[in-house]
Every structure is written in structure tokens, then in C-alpha cells.
Structure 1
Amino acid sequence: MKRTKISFDLAQLPRAIRAHCSNAAIYDSSCSEGAKTLLVQGTNITGSAYLKISAKGSLERECHMTRFLNGHQVAPEVVAYETDAEHDYLLMEAVAGEDGVSGVHLENPTLLAIAFGEHLRMLHSLPVDNCPYTHRTAEMIGAVKDKNSQLPFITQLQKVAVDDVIIHGDYCLPNIMMDHYAFTGFIDLGHGGIGDRHYDLYWGMWTLNYNLKTDRYHDVFLNAYGSADVDRERLVHFARLVALTEGSS
């Protein structure tokens, strides 16, 4: 992860957030234009923490999903969540290890693909009870249904999709933390909920292709996940849904 030490005016933060960051060293670790991510190290923080700052209302879902999955010990603890007139502020304990695109993990693509599949299977095996967000496929379809004419395809997807597992919602290599391939935590959970496993499987295949510059590890990933539970037709359907979703954003 990118880490650049910066000077940051803590006075612009809500008081509850500021109290945890007093006298801390602040590093810019942002990786998207839509949100600022700061690494907070030092006084009043147990170890290290990450502070996300984004548009008002945009981090609420991530807060709730992170808290839910922290209860299953697979996500960081939420230290504080605050909102003001313009922004959301989400402070979370840092997860040990390095993300899936760190050099140590890219050194052995086969081991990476195996671990990536096994860790996704673990996520999909968690109990869905009390998950704060259900019917993720319906939400995704709703986001594009009124903006596209692909109604026959959407109708077919509604017939075959099964929302029965906890999905990450953005299952890409930067969003899993590991210690030499051993799982330490999932991060960036703002698109998670109860959904169809094939949505995560599609993104898992996509990120392996994107980050490794080849699709040769797709089967390694799917076999590690459990190929008996992979429906190739549903993978195609979700690939089309993603294409529609990206096109409507």
C-alpha cells in the first residue's frame, strides 16, 4: 500500500475521530479519487489504524459490514464512525500483513491463486444470520434496470441467481490482507452483503487476470475455491451484469 507521510490538520475532523488521532503520525494511503485514506500511527491508537474520509453517506455500509464481519473475526475492528454535513469518517484498526498485490504475494502466482480461492471459500461459508444487507443481486439489478434495455438478460439472471452467502462485493487482490498467503483479514467491504457467490468469483477471476497479466490462474483459483460449486453459466451472467453496472455508473 502507498504510504506518504503528510501534514494533516486534525481540527477538520469530528471531535470523536480527532480524539483517537491526537499526536499521531499521518500517512496518505489513498488509492482512489472517491475517498481519502489515511494511515494513523501513534498516540491514542492501538498499533495502527486507517481513517477513511468520503462523501456523506458513502461509508455507512462499509461501517456496518465491517462490524458484522469483525464479529466473525475476518475484518478489522471499527474504532469510530462519524458524519458531518459533507463527509463520512470511518476509523478502523489496521489489519496485519500485506495486501494481495504486494511483492511478496505476487512472487508465486500459483500459491496466490490457491490462497485467494481458499479464503473466498471461507468467507462464503460464514453464517448469514444478522447480516445487515440482504438480496445483493436484486440491488445490483435495480441499479441498472432502468438505464438499460437488456431486460431478457436481467430476467434470466433473476431466475438463476441465488443470494445465499456472504459476499465481499469487491473481491479483488488489494482487498484481502495476508501474511505470506495466510489470511489476516478482508478490507473495503462497502459492497458486501448476502448475495450470489458467482459475483465474487467473477471479480476474483478479473483481478487475477488484471494483476497477473494472464488468465492462466483462473482454474487454479476456482479449483481451490471448489469447482463443484461453480456454475459457469452464472459466471457469464454476472460478467454481463458487471458490464452493465460499470456502464451505468
Structure 2
Amino acid sequence: MSIPAHPVRIPDRVRALAPGADLTAVWVNDAGGVTFRGVREDETVFVKLQPRYGETPVAAEVERLLWAASYTAVPRVREWGAEGDEEWLVTLGMAGEGAVSPRGMRAPRQAVRAIGEGLRAWHDRLPTSDCPFTWDVAGRIAAARERGIVVPPALHDAPQVDRLVVCHGDACAPNTLIDRDGRWAGHVDVGALGVADRWADIAVASMSLEWNYGPGWDSEFFAAYGVAPDTVRLAFYRDLWNAT
């Protein structure tokens, strides 16, 4: 997932989903999906347009957004649908901006702390007892198999669970929102949300710091989250992420 390096053509469907809005592509992903921001008078919406048969279906994300909204700050769903080879999701804009926005990039230490604190708050707030979704290792391997991915045998045997939480499922730095003061304000892109060991999220979040801010931020993140690095679990869940 990245900020587009060049202008992106705005499809007719996106214009129809946000009529009259000033539209800009703000995110692209490796699966061919594009998210557009639409600004219209006092309202901001985000329109995600993606291939219909991708890794994370829009319907799955809608279910998770509706569930998580009772416990933490996530986007509100306006509409969603699918036709032909495309599917889409329209959500209302939230206060704050991505942790890799210009504000976040100007103050990386503050942004990294917000990511760590925000992930810990997510794990503490969302109740596993009420969560109908899972993101466990067996399920991730099965989902990868359905997409034609063979996961190495060594990754079928996970370390003993440290703490079961409701994982975000894609806790990379851009999916934490920060407010004007640099504090975490919410989370986006929750299509893989589900119960799993917290290290499944921690491993990905900490790994993404170097992608976005450069090396040397791990200690700041772990201090903000409030946990000492677990090298075994970090290695396993990073390898599983890369393999699936």
C-alpha cells in the first residue's frame, strides 16, 4: 500500500459514488485497489475500488467495521456493493490523517509512538469474547491455499499464544490515524480483523516502521505499546505475513 506517485484516472464509478466531490487518489495497493478521497462542502468521503476477487472482500470489511465501531474509532460505512469484476466501499471521513501523512513524516518519533499506543488501545478495547471473526494461523494458511499460495511447513506450527486479542489484521503504519497533536485517533483497513495472538499484529506493525520511516524505530514502538520484543514470535509472524 502506498501513496500514488503519479495522478490516477478517476473511474466513472467512483464519480457516481461521490457525485460533485473533488476526488483525489490517496492510496494504491498491490492487488490493484485504489482509494479515493472525495471532498464536498462540509463532508469528506473515501471510496475504495478494488478487484472483486481479491484477498480481502469488501463484504468482509463491512462486517468487521460494523462490529468494531461499538468499541473503537473506525470509519462509518455509507454504502458498498459489487458488480462484474469490481467491488467498492464508501466510508465517511474521520478526524485525523494517516501516520505516514506529511505531518507524520515530519515527526516520526511522535507518529511511531502513536502507532504503538494506538495498537495497544485496540488490543485492550476490543473484546475477544464477542468477536465473531478469527485471524489465527490455520485460517490464514487455508486462505492462502485458496489463492494458490503454498506456505512453508515450518510456518504451520505457531509459537504458543502469548495473549489472545482481537487483531487489526493489517497493523502497518499507514492504517493508524493521528490527530493534530500527533496522538492516535483511530484505525482504518480492518478487513482481516479477527482473534489471534497479539504478536501477529505487533510483528507487522513494528516491521512496517522501517518501510515508512527508515531504520531505528523499534524501541520507540515497543515502549509505546508496553511490551519487550519477543524475537521468536516476531520472526514467526513476520515470516507468516510475508508468506501469505
2:46 to 40, 43, 50: 50
Normalized per residue, the structure richer in helix is 1
Q: Which residue of 2 aligns with 1:131?
A: 131
Separation of aligned partners in 2, 1:185 and 1:140: 25
TM-score normalised by the chain length of structure 2: 0.82
RMSD (Å) for aligned C-alpha atoms = 2.8
Q: Work out the number of aligned pairs and report it.
A: 233
State the Cα distance separating 1:224 from its structure 2 match: 1.5
Contact 1:6 1:26 survives alignment (8 Å): no
> Aligned in 2, Cα 1:28/1:210: closer, same or farther, shift over 3 Å?
closer
Greater CA deviation, 60-69 or 128-137?
A: 128-137
Q: Which residue of 2 aligns with 1:238?
A: 237
Separation of aligned partners in 1, 2:134 and 2:207: 24
Q: Which residue of 2 aligns with 1:213?
A: 214
Separation of aligned partners in 1, 2:223 and 2:36: 37
1:91-134 deviation line (CA, Å, top 9, x unaligned): 10112222111222223333222221111000111212443422
Separation of aligned partners in 1, 2:11 and 2:168: 31
Q: Which residue of 2 aligns with 1:100?
A: 99
Q: Which residue of 1 aligns with 2:38?
A: 40
For structure 2, which runs of at least 5 residues remain unmatched after alignment?
Answer: none
Greater CA deviation, 85-94 or 160-169?
A: 160-169
Separation of aligned partners in 1, 2:10 and 2:35: 14
Identity of aligned residues (%): 24
Separation of aligned partners in 2, 1:242 and 1:166: 17
Q: How does 1:5-16 map to 2 (within 5 A)?
A: 9=12, 12=13
For structure 1, which runs of at least 5 residues remain unmatched after alignment?
Answer: none
Q: Which residue of 2 aligns with 1:150?
A: 152
1:175-230 deviation line (CA, Å, top 9, x unaligned): 1111132222211112221112111111111111111211x2212211221215x5
> Aligned in 2, Cα 1:156/1:80: closer, same or farther, shift over 3 Å?
same
Separation of aligned partners in 2, 1:213 and 1:195: 28
Q: Does 1:21 align with 2:22?
A: no
Separation of aligned partners in 2, 1:163 and 1:27: 40
TM-score normalised by the chain length of structure 1: 0.81
Structure with higher Rg: it is 1
Q: Which residue of 1 aligns with 2:113?
A: 114
Q: Which residue of 2 aligns with 1:185?
A: 186
State the Cα distance separating 1:135 from its structure 2 match: 4.2
Contact 2:135 2:193 survives alignment (8 Å): no
1:134-193 deviation line (CA, Å, top 9, x unaligned): 243222222457854732x23431x52467211111111111111132222211112221
> Aligned in 2, Cα 1:148/1:95: closer, same or farther, shift over 3 Å?
same
Separation of aligned partners in 1, 2:201 and 2:64: 16
State the Cα distance separating 1:78 from its structure 2 match: 0.5
Contact 1:4 1:29 survives alignment (8 Å): no
